[in-house]
Structure 1
Amino acid sequence: MIKSIVQFMRRDVTRGVAGTILLKVGSGALAFALFSLAARTMSPDGFGIFATWLSVAQMASVVGLVGQESLLVRFLNEYRVANQPDLTKGVLLSSLRISSAAMLIAIGAIAIVASLRGDWWLLILAVSAYTAVNAGLMLGSQIARSLVSILMGEGNREFFWRVSVVLFLIAVLTGHRQLDPAELIVVMTIAMSIGLGAQVVAITRALPDFRATAARSETSRWRSSALHFWVASILEAANQYFDVILVYWMLDPATAGIYFAASRLANIFAMLSAALYSFGARRLPSLYFSKNHQEFERTLQLMAEVTALCVISGLLLIWIGGPYLLNLFGPHFAAQHWVLIVLAIGTAFQAAGGPSAAILQLTGYEREYVPVVAANVALRLVGFLVLIPWFGVLGAAISATVSLALATIALNILCRRRTGVDPSILGLLRFSASKRGNYAVRGMDSAE
């Protein structure tokens, strides 16, 4: 058994997945520290307002990128495998132009809505700046992940900047000072800007010399794919952030803050899904477009093995340690342990489904992915409207979990039908059965 574990850990794919998951775990731990410290340095209503505007900014960043971040992952890998630098240059320039123009529109919309609400001008500026920098990091991380490394892409997007913000919050807490939501958003924006600068430098160095290369376009392909990627990205962002906005609207700021805290903790499994997506987005497209089916399936199998281990250990952590983790946000958060458990079941189910969404999007089936995510958002919205008046914040958690589970099942069925592969942990059972069958055949052959 020990020999098998050692052999498993020595595999290059295992190390890659494990390294990506460790990066996500570290990012998640820092995010948890950031939000728990923020909750303790703000009033309950202040933290709820911070969480709500942060969710608005995250959604606006996705809207403003108009699907260009996913489009780059799709086509940069294809053009690199095919050795087409003219199209590589073309898609990079096109994405930068389109996303820059669209982000200005998204930021303007935020400023107008916030002004009509009568919000403080500093909060409006802070949220607008955060939206722009966050969108830059989202786009830059996709390019850096494809051209440089996962560490440069995901590390600067989610890990390094949070260290300085956590240290700032510790200093504020030690000084017994209460923060305003706008102040924290400003600090986060400054820290993220440094990470964005590092990404720009690394990408510039990694890019080949395009000065003698004439840019070539495949506008119709890019436009069609970008539209589907954009819709999918908006729906995914709605799944992750719109919940908080709805709870804020239907209940109150303090309850929105509680739901935000519980959902961030439950995101230990969504973090696993994001890690698998980050690893899969870097490795799977090149294997798919180079038609290396054996390595493609081997990579999926090893990803499923790591996922199964993480899901089991994560559920145990949430069940046993949930109240203690919630208490770090404040005493009134600890009473919502069942909200955390219900949300964790949903995100664990999604993680167990594997990177089916990534496979569908990165292998040319993004059109069929969108309706499933749209149905997920619609079902969740209906569930919120029906269940929140009856069960309060627990109703929101039930709605989120049910819709997420149904969407995961639908995506896995779609992935198996379209690509012929099962990325979920259930694929391990079929692999194990196939392996036992092969051993049985070998035993019969040797007996004969």
Structure 2
Amino acid sequence: MIASIVQFIQRDVTRGVAGTILLKVGSGALAFALFSLAARTMSPDGFGIFATWLSVAQIASVVGLVGQEMLLVRFLNEYQVGDQPDLTKGVLLSSLKISSVAMLIAIAAIALVANLRGDWWLLILAVSAYTAVNAGLMLGSQIARSLVSILMGEGNREFFWRVIVVLFLLAVLFGHRQLDPAELITVMTIAMSVGLVAQIIAIARALPNLRSMSARSETSRWRSSALHFWVASILEAANQYLDVILVYWMLDPTTAGIYFAASRLANIFAMLSAALYSFGARRLPSLYFSKNHQEFERTLQLMAEVTALCVVSGLVLIWVGAPYLLNLFGPHFAAQHWVLIVLAIGTAFQAAGGPAAAILQLTGHERQYVPVVAANVAMRLVGFLVLIPWLGVLGAAISATASLALATIALNILCRRRTGVDPSILVLSRFSASKSGTYAVRVADSGD
């Protein structure tokens, strides 16, 4: 048994998945520290306003990128495997141009809506700047992850800048100051800008010499894929951030802050899903397009093993420690520990489903992915409208968990039918029963 464990740990895929998960866990711990310190350095209403505008900015960043971040993951890997630097240059230039123009439009829309609401001009400026830098970091992390490393991509996107902000918040807390939302969003924007600059430098060094090479385009393929990626990204962002906005609108800023804190803690499992996606987005596409089915299967099996271990241990942690974790945000947060437990069940179910969404999108089946995510958003919205007036913030958590569970089941069924791959932890039962079977992985045609 010990020999088997040692062999499992020494596998390159295991180390890669574990390293990515550790990076995500570290990022999650810093995010937890950031938001808990923010809650203690702001008034309850101020924290709710901060959480709501942060959610708005995140959605706007995704809207402004118009699907280009996923488009780059999809085609940079394909062109690298096919040794096509002219197309690499073409897709990079096209994505940067399109996302820059669209982001300006998204920021202008935020500023206009905030101005009509009568919000403070400093808050409007801070949210607009945060939206722009966050979008740049999202796009840069996808490029850096494909061309440089996961650490350069995800580390600068989610880890390093949070260290700066946490240190700032500790200084504010010990100085007995009270922050307003605009101040904290400004500090976050400045810290994220440092990470964005580091990404730009690393990407410039990693790219082959493309200056003298003419760019070649596959505009019809890019346009078709980008549209589906964009819709999927917007729906995913709505799944993650629209909840807080709706709770703010249907209840009050203080309750929105409580729901935001609970949802961030429940993201211990979403972090696992994101880690698997980050690892899979770097490793699986190249295996897929090079038709290395044996290694593709092996990678998925080891990802499932790590996922099962993390899901079980994470659920135990949340079940036992929910009140204590929420109390770190403030005494009035701890009373809503059932909100955290219900949300954690939903995100754990999603994590157990594995990277089905990533596999569908990165293998050319993004058209089939979009309707499932759209149905998830619709079910969640209907659930909010029905359950929040009846059960309050707990109703919002129940709606989010139910819609997430149904969407996870649908995505896994779709993934198995379209690609021949079962990405969930259920695959472990089949591997233990039979070591000889292999996946019949189906590659989508370029027009899909």
TM-score by length of 2: 0.97
Deviation string 1:94-150 (CA, Å, 9 cap, x unpaired) is 000000000000000000000000000000000000000000000000000000000
SS class of match (1:178): coil
SS class of match (2:236): helix
Provide the C-alpha distance between the structure 1 equivalents of 2:418 and 2:435, rounded to a whole number of angstroms. 24
Does residue 1:134 correspond to 2:173, yes or no? Answer: no
1:256 is matched with 256
1:196 is matched with 196
2:312 is matched with 312
Provide the C-alpha distance between the structure 1 equivalents of 2:390 and 2:297, rounded to a whole number of angstroms. 46
Identity of aligned residues (%): 90
Provide the C-alpha distance between the structure 2 equivalents of 1:75 and 1:436, rounded to a whole number of angstroms. 32
Deviation string 1:314-356 (CA, Å, 9 cap, x unpaired) is 0000011111110000000001110000000000000000000
Provide the C-alpha distance between the structure 1 equivalents of 2:242 and 2:378, rounded to a whole number of angstroms. 12
1:381 is matched with 381
Identify the range of structure 1 (427-436 vs 412-421) with the bigger mean alpha-carbon deviation: 427-436
5+ residue gaps, structure 1: 438-448
Structure 1 segments (4+ residues) deviating >2 Å: none
Amino acid at match of 2:40: R
Provide the C-alpha distance between the structure 2 equivalents of 1:236 and 1:268, rounded to a whole number of angstroms. 17
Provide the C-alpha distance between the structure 2 equivalents of 1:203 and 1:231, rounded to a whole number of angstroms. 27
SS class of match (2:335): helix
Does residue 1:77 correspond to 2:77, yes or no? Answer: yes
1:23 is matched with 23
Give how far 1:435 is off.
3.5
Amino acid at match of 1:401: T
Provide the C-alpha distance between the structure 1 equivalents of 2:60 and 2:258, rounded to a whole number of angstroms. 22
Give how far 1:436 is off.
9.8
2:398 is matched with 398
Does residue 1:158 correspond to 2:149, yes or no? Answer: no
2:368 is matched with 368
Deviation string 1:264-322 (CA, Å, 9 cap, x unpaired) is 00000000000000000000000000000000000000000000000000000001111
SS class of match (2:336): helix
Provide the C-alpha distance between the structure 2 equivalents of 1:390 and 1:280, rounded to a whole number of angstroms. 41
Amino acid at match of 1:207: L
Provide the C-alpha distance between the structure 2 equivalents of 1:329 and 1:199, rounded to a whole number of angstroms. 32
1:331 is matched with 331
Provide the C-alpha distance between the structure 1 equivalents of 2:367 and 2:436, rounded to a whole number of angstroms. 38
Residues 103-182 of structure 1 aligned to structure 2 (within 5 Å): 103-182=103-182
5+ residue gaps, structure 2: 438-448
2:211 is matched with 211
Deviation string 1:159-199 (CA, Å, 9 cap, x unpaired) is 00000100000000001100000000000000000000000
Give how far 1:228 is off.
0.1
Provide the C-alpha distance between the structure 2 equivalents of 1:113 and 1:170, rounded to a whole number of angstroms. 33
Amino acid at match of 1:307: T
Query: Whose helix proportion is higher, 1 or 2?
Result: 1
SS class of match (1:83): coil
Does residue 1:221 correspond to 2:225, yes or no? Answer: no
Give how far 1:61 is off.
0.1
SS class of match (1:364): coil
Provide the C-alpha distance between the structure 2 equivalents of 1:21 and 1:9, rounded to a whole number of angstroms. 14
Provide the C-alpha distance between the structure 2 equivalents of 1:39 and 1:259, rounded to a whole number of angstroms. 12
Residues 409-448 of structure 1 aligned to structure 2 (within 5 Å): 409-435=409-435
SS class of match (1:212): coil
Provide the C-alpha distance between the structure 2 equivalents of 1:177 and 1:421, rounded to a whole number of angstroms. 53
SS class of match (1:214): coil
SS class of match (1:54): helix
Provide the C-alpha distance between the structure 2 equivalents of 1:435 and 1:334, rounded to a whole number of angstroms. 47
Amino acid at match of 2:342: V
Deviation string 1:221-252 (CA, Å, 9 cap, x unpaired) is 00000000000000000000000000000000
Amino acid at match of 2:343: L
Provide the C-alpha distance between the structure 2 equivalents of 1:339 and 1:434, rounded to a whole number of angstroms. 40
2:294 is matched with 294
Amino acid at match of 2:204: T
Amino acid at match of 1:328: L
Amino acid at match of 1:314: G
Provide the C-alpha distance between the structure 2 equivalents of 1:295 and 1:68, rounded to a whole number of angstroms. 28
SS class of match (2:422): coil
1:443 is matched with none
1:446 is matched with none
Provide the C-alpha distance between the structure 1 equivalents of 2:124 and 2:46, rounded to a whole number of angstroms. 15
Backbone CA RMSD of aligned residues: 1.0
Amino acid at match of 1:134: N
